[in-house]
Amino acid sequence: MLGERKTRGVFNEGRNSEWSARMQELMPAQTAPAEPVVREPAEVVNKSADDIFFAAVEGKDFATVLQEVQEHIASRYSSLLTDGNSDDVKRQMKRYITKYVQENRVAVQGMSNQELVDNLYTEMAEFSFLTKYIFGEGVEEIDINSWKDIEIQYSGGRTEKLEEHFDSPAHAINVIRRMLHVSGTILDDASPVVTGTLAKNIRIAVLKTPIVDEEVGLAASIRIVNPQSMKKEDFVSGGTATGEMLDFLSECIRYGISVCVAGATSSGKTTVAGWLLTTIPDRKRIFSIENGSRELDLVREYDGRVV
């Protein structure tokens, strides 16, 4: 009909929907913007320069590392193991241990490089975990009943069973042999019962197989004598004796009457005997016969002069 407006053309409804469908096929699908990724801050760990530059390739157990280092030192620096315990030898030993750990990037779980070096040095040049007790304050005796049973006796009479112990019977024997080496004492199957000294105030008595069972390894007593400067008033206030008793014993010693001091371990026998000897006049000479380490300090000095 003339004059009728065309309602269907290029943009009519049918063609329009068809065109839209084609455009959606050609246009890439729109996706919602991705959520920003929130990352937790990395844990910051303070590490020394050695831990960073000499990071270990893999972790090993301490016993394995100790054996490797011992074999390395014995093969290349064997003289360090026989030249004694001088400060220079100890410094060299620690230097070579540090070098080996760093160059071979050795690690033990739970230890930093410095802790590993210190522990290796203590095992090789000192006396394992016993070192801190031997040279610690207040320790009078270390009783080794077996390689895994060790007790500490303190000067106050307290006894403590240690959780620490040796790694094996062989480990215990090696450490005690190192102690006896200081006094030139040999511990082996031909001499399984020996006594020696680690210092003038440290006495060591040892029994090893075949005297004790193989699973025990050894039994040892390390006696540490620390002379105490006690006065008469200290014994009285501590309940050891009355003033009259101490005066009587002192007069007996002074005029040549025999006195026997007896008591249990760590009861104070040496301390009492030492004080009694101090009451002897300076003009008299004193001779002492002692088995093992010297426990009585009989030298008297005034103003740097022996009297």
Tens digits of per-residue pLDDT, 204-220?
Answer: 999 999 999 999 999 99
Encode pLDDT of 17-48 as tens digits. Answer: 565 555 555 555 555 555 555 454 444 444 55
Does residue 80 register a pLDDT over 80? no
CB 105 within 8 A of CB 98: no
Supply the Cα-derived Rg of the chain in whole angstroms: 39
**Residue 222 dihedral angles phi and psi, to the nearest 5°:** -110, 110
Across 161-178, average pLDDT: 91
Distance, CA of 256 to CA of 273 (rounded, Å): 14
The predicted structure's pLDDT at residue 160:
94
Among residues 176, 203, 202, 201, the alpha carbon closest in space to that of 191 is found at 176
Tokens of 146: 């077996």
Across 128-156, average pLDDT: 90
How do beta strands 193-199 and 106-108 pair?
Answer: unpaired
Distance, CA of 298 to CA of 279 (rounded, Å): 11
Distance, CA of 124 to CA of 236 (rounded, Å): 46
The predicted structure's pLDDT at residue 10:
46
pLDDT tier at 258, thresholds 50, 70, 90: very high
